Amino acid sequence: MQVLNPVKSVGIAFATYVVQSTSHKTVLPIISCNRKYSKMSKLRGADRLKGTEKNVWVEFGKLAVDYKALNLGQGFPDFKPPQHVIDKMVHAVDGSDNALLSQYTRSYGHPRLVNVLAKLYSPLMGRTLDPMNNITISIGAYGVLFCAIQGLINPGDEVVIVEPYFDCYEPMVKVAGAIPKYVPLRPIKKEGVLSSDDWKLDPVELESKFSAKTKAIMINNPNNPVGKVFRKEELEMIANLCKKYDCICISDEVYEWMIYDDNKHLKIASLPGMWERTITMGSAGKTFSATGWKLGWGVGPDHLIKPMQVLHQNCIYTCPTPIQEAVAEGLEYELSIQDKKEECYLTSLALELKPKRDALAKSLTEIGMIPTIPDGGYFMMADISNLNIDIPDDGTKDPYDFKFVRWLCKEKRLSVIPPSAFYNQEHKNLGEKFVRFCFIKKDETLAKADEIFKEWKASQGK
């Protein structure tokens, strides 16, 4: 299918695009920027979306494609999911006699999937989970975040967000009519290669963001983009504030299985007094290297899960059955081999990623960047301030990292992500001297990136 040129404008604020497939032509209306009418007309978007138009994935995903750049930007692997999960998906769609696998399934999650998730998470949460009432499924962790924020947060509530944050937290909270209160992780080490553990929350600054109006705190553990795996005492500090101010903890743990070296991932929901106030998010896309499958889950007590299910049943209803069936079967298999660290995908992926992490850190150090070595996740922050690149003015007022990343893509054909997108307006300066690299890529891809750096370095010597 191909999008052809826009054809003549029809109606008031719509233009028409012709989308041509091999067999037929379809005429689709799309919103145009017809200035004459857009200000006054009611044919425009809802006011609550104002200020949320920019999206880092949309801009930098397109730029990478336009410049045919090597993509170490957005967080997805350039290799396939485990073969047994693919086989299960094919079987669910075409190999099974069960015709119902292609029809709607239970709104809040396919029974086979919620059952295996309850088995997987019960020991990690330190309690026996009820698959029907403690788990809810949605379209990726994005969908679960949306259900949590729309289902649990009221207009006027305050939500504490730890920076750098996954970029959608801010617009989701604002669209719900709530007020975000930001608190940054700050690198405490000023020189040399950093560890993600060197990025800390200041306890006084953190507590200063809480008040009687605080409804929730959003954390991401392991953190994207820093790779920080929160230590027990750090989680306890957050937990104590949640209890003191009686608020919910929204804990996004989509990178829970990608933990390196001797680090341990601890679920904040498992700490004393936290189960009843925590929603924990996971993602099949991240767990099985299948980000395009877009399936996620929220785990929590029934009084928090129920409102999320109510939201989900009315705006999405249910997620694709074959994907849920395949992920369920895939997890059942992984659970059956969980004691075989090198075979079970839940543990073997991190073993596979660790040398990739180390290779990337070496390449970045050689070109003069200062990496933060992540304890978890599959991203690496790198300080670019020592590079002293004189970036030509690109006509925007964007932070330095945005300009640097555009320049890198156009001049060096390498696509990465500007981390100031993960900070609110007032704190963008904290992110703009870094760029974010994704290292869940084939070894050949990382070797190509290394070649780009080597050529770049050689050209600097000329």
> Strands 199-200 and 248-252: what pairing?
unpaired
Q: Contacting ligand PLP (CB under 6 A), which of 151, 285, 330, 399?
A: 285
Q: Which of 393, 397, 435 is nearest to 417 (CA)?
A: 435
CB of 164 to ligand PLP, least distance (A): 10
Instruction: Report the residue number, 195 or 224, with the smaller CB distance to ligand PLP.
Output: 224
Element (H, E) at 20: strand 14-20
Segment lying near ligand PLP (by CB under 6 A), choices 289-297, 337-345, 410-418, 434-442: 289-297
Instruction: Report the residue number, 209 or 294, with the smaller CB distance to ligand PLP.
Output: 294
Q: Does 141 bind ligand PLP (CB under 6 A)?
A: yes
Instruction: Report the residue number, 115 or 138, with the smaller CB distance to ligand PLP.
Output: 138
Q: CA dihedral defined by 205, 207, 212, 216, rounded to 10 degrees?
A: 100
Residue nearest to ligand PLP (CB): 140
Rounded-to-integer distance, Cα 428 and Cα 180, Å: 15
Using only C-alpha atoms, the chain has a radius of gyration, in whole angstroms, of 23
Rounded-to-integer distance, Cα 243 and Cα 302, Å: 18
Name the phi and psi angles at 396, rounded to 5. -110, 165
Considering only residues 361-420, where is the footprint of ligand PLP by CB under 6 A? none
CB of 168 to ligand PLP, least distance (A): 7
CB of 5 to ligand PLP, least distance (A): 33
CB of 171 to ligand PLP, least distance (A): 13
Considering only residues 236-265, where is the footprint of ligand PLP by CB under 6 A? 252, 254
In three-state form (DSSP H/G/I as H, E/B as E, the rest C), the secondary structure along 365-391 is HHHCCEEEECCECCEEEEECHHHCCCC
CA distances from 193 to 190, 196, 231 (A): 9, 10, 20
DSSP 8-class letter at 282: E
Could you count the other beta carbons within 10 Å of the beta carbon of residue 352? 15
Instruction: Report the residue number, 210 or 293, with the smaller CB distance to ligand PLP.
Output: 293
Q: Contacting ligand PLP (CB under 6 A), which of 280, 283, 321, 363?
A: 283
DSSP reduced 3-state for 108: coil
CB of 291 to ligand PLP, least distance (A): 5
Q: State yes or no: cis peptide before 6, omega within 30 of 0.
A: no
Instruction: Report the residue number, 187 or 222, with the smaller CB distance to ligand PLP.
Output: 222
DSSP 8-class letter at 256: T
Residue type, 436: R
CB of 234 to ligand PLP, least distance (A): 17
Q: Does 153 bind ligand PLP (CB under 6 A)?
A: no
Q: Does 120 bind ligand PLP (CB under 6 A)?
A: no
Q: Which long-range contacts (CB under 8 A, 24 or more apart) does 1-9 make?
A: 9/34
Instruction: Report the residue number, 34 or 74, with the smaller CB distance to ligand PLP.
Output: 74
> In sequence order, what DSSP letters do the residues of 154-198 get, joined into one string?
-TT-EEEEEES--TTHHHHHHHTT-EEEEEE-EE---SSSEEGGG
Segment lying near ligand PLP (by CB under 6 A), choices 28-36, 47-55, 137-145, 444-452: 137-145
CB of 74 to ligand PLP, least distance (A): 7
Rounded-to-integer distance, Cα 320 and Cα 99, Å: 14
Q: Contacting ligand PLP (CB under 6 A), which of 77, 131, 187, 296?
A: 296
Q: Contacting ligand PLP (CB under 6 A), which of 71, 105, 196, 224?
A: 224
Rounded-to-integer distance, Cα 99 and Cα 369, Å: 55
Segment lying near ligand PLP (by CB under 6 A), choices 42-50, 105-113, 139-147, 365-373: 139-147
Provide CB contacts within 8 A for 293, sequence distance 6+.
Answer: 81, 284, 285, 323, 327
Segment lying near ligand PLP (by CB under 6 A), choices 25-33, 112-120, 290-298, 436-444: 290-298
CB of 26 to ligand PLP, least distance (A): 28
Segment lying near ligand PLP (by CB under 6 A), choices 77-85, 134-142, 363-371, 411-419: 134-142
> In sequence order, what DSSP letters do the residues of 29-70 get, joined into one string?
EEE---HHHHTT-S-S--GGGTT----HHHHHHHHHHHTT-E
Q: Does 453 bind ligand PLP (CB under 6 A)?
A: no
| Structure tokens given for 143 | 């969908």
CB of 1 to ligand PLP, least distance (A): 24
Q: Does 291 bind ligand PLP (CB under 6 A)?
A: yes
Q: Does 75 bind ligand PLP (CB under 6 A)?
A: yes
Q: Contacting ligand PLP (CB under 6 A), which of 142, 210, 245, 423?
A: 142
| Binding residues with ligand PLP: total (CB under 6 A) | 14
Instruction: Report the residue number, 220 or 372, with the smaller CB distance to ligand PLP.
Output: 220
Would you tell me which residues interact with ligand PLP (CB under 6 A)?
75, 140-142, 166, 220, 224, 252, 254, 283, 285, 291, 294, 296
